[in-house]
């Protein structure tokens, strides 16, 4: 399958995110050439793709999609050879990213876009070591990429509009919900929103307002259900009734501001981390990660089917 001249994807780094990306690209009928220097990476990649494939079948495979379109290479240069687009998912360390991008930049034609899955690093700093920084962008997925549609696309200071447009169009063509983050900030958009919620969730546990399980239920059976359908602004708009968002901001603005002023700023001490971990263990009640992931995926698949 070819998407606007993109047919072969180099997946560089095949940990949890990279393997999920690889599975998704294969499901969209693309060829994938992968590389990861970690011992056992080849075997773990194949195992991950096998584990993800039933979910991708439920989502729907593109005609011609095949797990046989995957090749794993022993060297970075071999994985990059012939690539039309690069999805990098290496370790979240700026020095390692810069070294990796320097090597990829030297090995690839200047026309090939290199996208990073980085969850928090700034592309301006990563691309600063490249001879062709204009083709470097951020293409940050939401975990797991084979299931969650969101991709945040951000350019660095020297990224070209053409590279941003290419990445945006490619992700949309393969079924992703790509959004353009117009200004570099730590954590981009979605992770910053998550971080704000995590901070207060941890504060509520730390101050004894609620248990870990009750905080989880408060979101999963409350606003989380609405957020799965609509984002925060459209939900606020509906909460405003006939007057919409303007009415809500006018009449509930002061109470909301008072809540902001009362939000906590917890510190992750060893004691707090231990209490959160114990709370999660109690909430799991013997369920393993595989069971929890299967439950999560089933719910998300149903939601995505309805949203479609």
CATH number for the domain that contains residue 256 = 1.10.1040.10
Does residue 85 register a pLDDT over 90? yes
Residue 226's pLDDT is 95
CATH number of the domain where residue 61 is located: 3.40.50.720
**Contact (Cβ atoms closer than 8 angstroms) between residue 83 and residue 10:** yes
Residue 150's pLDDT is 97
* Same domain flag for 165 and 212: no
* Same domain flag for 138 and 37: yes
pTM: 0.93
Does residue 2 register a pLDDT over 90? no
Confidence of residue 286 (pLDDT cuts 50, 70, 90): confident
**Contact (Cβ atoms closer than 8 angstroms) between residue 267 and residue 205:** no
* Same domain flag for 140 and 215: no
Confidence of residue 1 (pLDDT cuts 50, 70, 90): confident
Total domain count for the chain?
Answer: 2
* Same domain flag for 124 and 12: yes
Strand ranges (E), the chain: 8-12, 31-35, 70-72, 85-88, 113-116, 136-141, 150-155, 177-180
109 within domain boundaries: yes
Does residue 4 register a pLDDT over 90? no
Structural domain including 279 reads 191-307
> From CA 277, how far away is CA 242, in angstroms rounded?
44
Does residue 200 register a pLDDT over 90? yes
* Same domain flag for 268 and 156: no
197 within domain boundaries: yes
Confidence of residue 308 (pLDDT cuts 50, 70, 90): confident
Summary mean pLDDT of the chain = 96
Confidence of residue 302 (pLDDT cuts 50, 70, 90): very high
Residue among 87, 49, 86, 84 nearest 66 (CA): 49
185 within domain boundaries: no
* Same domain flag for 68 and 159: yes
Residue among 76, 82, 84 nearest 100 (CA): 76
Burial of residue 181, with CB atoms counted within 10 A of its CB: 0-12 exposed, 13-18 middle, 19 or more buried? middle
Per-residue pLDDT, averaged over 251-261, amounts to 95
* Same domain flag for 251 and 167: no
> From CA 289, how far away is CA 236, in angstroms rounded?
34
Per-residue pLDDT, averaged over 71-83, amounts to 98
279 within domain boundaries: yes
Does residue 260 register a pLDDT over 90? yes
* Same domain flag for 277 and 200: yes
**Contact (Cβ atoms closer than 8 angstroms) between residue 174 and residue 27:** no
* Same domain flag for 60 and 160: yes
* Same domain flag for 26 and 141: yes
**What percent of the chain has a predicted confidence (pLDDT) above 70?**
100
DSSP designation for 62 = P
**Contact (Cβ atoms closer than 8 angstroms) between residue 18 and residue 87:** yes
**How far from 126 is each of 3, 49, 101, 121, CA to CA, in Å?**
27, 29, 7, 8
Instruction: Give the helix ranges, DSSP H, for 62-151.
Output: 76-80, 94-107, 123-126
Element holding 43 (H helix, E strand)? helix 41-59
270 within domain boundaries: yes
> From CA 95, how far away is CA 106, in angstroms rounded?
17
**154-185 pLDDT, tens per residue?**
999 999 999 999 999 999 999 999 999 999 99
* Same domain flag for 155 and 93: yes
* Same domain flag for 240 and 278: yes
186 within domain boundaries: no
Per-residue pLDDT, averaged over 191-199, amounts to 96
Does residue 81 register a pLDDT over 90? yes
Residue among 145, 144, 232 nearest 192 (CA): 232
Kindly give, in sequence order, each residue whose CB lies less than 8 Å from that of residue 199, ignoring residues fewer than 6 positions away: 263, 264, 265, 266
Does residue 13 register a pLDDT over 90? yes
**What percent of the chain has a predicted confidence (pLDDT) above 90?**
95
Residue 130's pLDDT is 97
Residue 202's pLDDT is 98
Last residue of a domain, one of 154, 180, 206: 180
């Amino acid at each position: 399958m070819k998407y606007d001249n993109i047919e072969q994807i180099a997946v560089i780094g095949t940990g949890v995110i990279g393997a999920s990306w690889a599975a998704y690209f294969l499901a969209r009928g693309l060829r994938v050439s992968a590389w990861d220097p970690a011992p056992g990476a080849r075997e773990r990649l194949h195992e991950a793709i096998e584990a993800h494939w039933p979910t991708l079948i439920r989502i729907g495979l593109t005609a011609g999609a095949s797990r046989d379109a995957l090749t794993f290479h022993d060297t970075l240069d071999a994985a990059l050879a012939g690539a039309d687009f690069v999805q990098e998912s290496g370790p979240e360390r700026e020095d390692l990213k810069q070294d990796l991008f320097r090597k990829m930049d030297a090995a690839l034609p200047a026309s090939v876009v290199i996208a990073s899955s980085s969850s928090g690093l700034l592309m301006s700093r990563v691309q600063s070591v490249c001879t062709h920084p204009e083709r470097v962008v951020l293409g940050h997925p939401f975990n797991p990429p084979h299931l969650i549609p969101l991709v945040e696309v951000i350019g660095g200071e020297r990224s070209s509009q053409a590279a941003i447009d290419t990445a945006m169009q490619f992700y949309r063509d393969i079924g992703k919900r790509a959004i353009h983050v117009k200004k570099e900030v730590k954590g981009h958009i979605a992770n910053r929103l998550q971080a704000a919620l995590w901070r207060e969730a941890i504060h509520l546990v730390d101050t004894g307002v609620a248990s870990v399980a009750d905080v989880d239920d408060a979101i999963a059976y409350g606003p989380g259900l609405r957020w799965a359908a609509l984002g925060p602004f459209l939900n606020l708009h509906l909460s405003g009734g006939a007057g919409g968002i303007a009415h809500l901001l006018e009449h509930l603005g002061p109470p909301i501001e008072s809540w902001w002023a009362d939000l906590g700023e917890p510190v992750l001490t060893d004691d707090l981390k231990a209490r959160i971990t114990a709370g999660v263990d109690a909430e799991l009640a013997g369920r393993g990660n595989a069971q929890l992931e299967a439950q999560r995926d089933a719910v998300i698949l149903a939601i995505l089917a309805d949203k479609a």
